[in-house]
Amino acid sequence: MIKGQPLETLKNRADFVTLNRKGRKWTAPGVVLQALPNEQGTIRIGYTVTKKTESSSVKRNRIKRRLRAAAADVLPDAAPGHDYVLIGRPMSATRPYETLCGDLRWCLEKLGCRK
């Protein structure tokens, strides 16, 4: 995957449910990362921010935008052939961007999904 290239996005609820049930998860202050190997051999990614995390839709969308930007910077270094779901946390909105990217790298490393 080339830096700046758009990531393939998970859109089906079934993919999210499978990843939640069978995948591995690691938690950091700014993000929760779930990972599961896939058969496609590509990196696919999904984003989740619930009303429990933030009741305002404007703030939830801001968290999703920050997670998408962090994923675009960090996931080209991730192992191919995996599905990833980034789950936003309340700190995702206020954490400095470089620290948020560091949290994502740390989660990838702990799950054994770095190149």
DSSP character for 7?
A: P
User: Residue ranges of the chain with pLDDT lower than 50?
Assistant: 1-2, 4
Closest CA to 19 of 71, 74, 87, 72: 87
Closest CA to 113 of 29, 35, 39, 61: 35
**Looking at residue 8, what is its pLDDT?**
84
pLDDT digits (tens, 9 = 90+) for 44-73: 999 999 999 889 999 999 999 999 999 999
Q: Backbone dihedral region of 51: left (phi > 0), alpha (psi from -120 to 50 degrees) or beta?
A: alpha
Does the residue 3 lie in any domain? no
Does the residue 83 lie in any domain? yes
**Looking at residue 6, what is its pLDDT?**
59
Does the residue 35 lie in any domain? yes
Does the residue 115 lie in any domain? no
Instruction: Report the side by side order of strands in the sheet with 44-48.
Output: 8-9, 44-48, 82-88, 31-37, 24-27
| CATH number, domain containing residue 15 | 3.30.230.10
Domain residues for the domain of 27 are 8-110
Does the residue 45 lie in any domain? yes
**Looking at residue 3, what is its pLDDT?**
52
Does the residue 62 lie in any domain? yes
| Overall domain count for the chain | 1
Q: Backbone dihedral region of 37: left (phi > 0), alpha (psi from -120 to 50 degrees) or beta?
A: beta
Does the residue 1 lie in any domain? no
Does the residue 2 lie in any domain? no
